[in-house]
Structure 1
């Protein structure tokens, strides 16, 4: 039986004991392989780390999906706005602009009244809400214009 054919019970070749240098090389090589195997097994057994990786991947995927949906919504909003502007008669657009100006004036007066009468914590919360509204001004204005146009069209149909 030669050296390549002889194996131990676990399938490892029996080392050639003819050279101590060769034996050391084989031992070192076996240690390296064993170390890599242990590392791979430890990584597979680390359920917490795997769960964190999967959670991070899911968060990233959800974030990308949310950004995509937000872009689609912006695009659809712009299309709807343009469609409403194109199909709305000029007198209705003018009345809408006048109504918006009146709403702005009334909101300014109401805001001043509230600022004069409201306690400080409430004013701080209102300031945060106003900042948020300013940051999302375009969608709010588009929504308000669409609502005003819808109400004016509905009102004019009701008078007929």
Structure 2
């Protein structure tokens, strides 16, 4: 016997004892006792019927579990959407940083190449003399090498 059924049985037993101890003094008191007894009996029958209706209890439990699962799924969906937004923002920020750095490196490289070209133009005579000297050294070296061979 379950605890609730035991409690209900005790209540019924107490009501019966109270009824036995107090005999109705008048027909009106007797009617009130009968009405109270009917009310208690109705509640007892309803409680027992609810306990015995396994199908309804199972449906109620299934509904409760579905509602909890739906609430959990909704919470997880909201959490995933929030995390997705954060990651999207971080990815966009990282892409912007990489693009900025690549642009910066390209500008610096172009600047250095232009600086080298300006230096060569400004010192045209020195570049030509250095190229001529390098060529002369190469020719002398080749001539010496052929003589030894």
TM-score, normalized by length of structure 1?
A: 0.47
Could you tell me which of 25, 43, 67 is aligned with 1:18? Answer: 25
- Given the alignment of the two structures, is residue 85 of structure 1 paired with residue 86 of structure 2, yes or no? no
Could you tell me which of 30, 43, 54 is aligned with 2:50? Answer: 43
Aligned CA-pair RMSD: 2.3
How much has 1:90 moved relative to structure 2?
2.5
How much has 1:11 moved relative to structure 2?
3.3
Task: Look up the SS of the partner of 2:17 in the other structure.
Answer: coil
Q: Distance in 1 between matches of 2:81 and 2:99?
A: 25
Q: Is the 8 A contact 2:24 2:30 kept in 1?
A: yes
Q: Distance in 1 between matches of 2:24 and 2:87?
A: 83
Report the structure number with the largest CA radius of gyration: 2
Q: Distance in 2 between matches of 1:26 and 1:38?
A: 18
Match of 1:103 in 2: none
How much has 1:62 moved relative to structure 2?
0.6
Could you tell me which of 32, 41, 45 is aligned with 1:34? Answer: 41
Question: Gaps spanning 5+ residues in structure 1: where?
Answer: 1-6, 92-160
Question: Gaps spanning 5+ residues in structure 2: where?
Answer: 1-12, 101-149
Match of 2:74 in 1: 67
- Which structure features the higher share of helix residues? 2
* Shift >3 Å, 4+ stretches: none
Match of 2:83 in 1: 76
Match of 1:95 in 2: none
Q: Distance in 1 between matches of 2:63 and 2:47?
A: 21
Deviations 1:34-59 (A, max 9, x none): 01111011111111111111111111
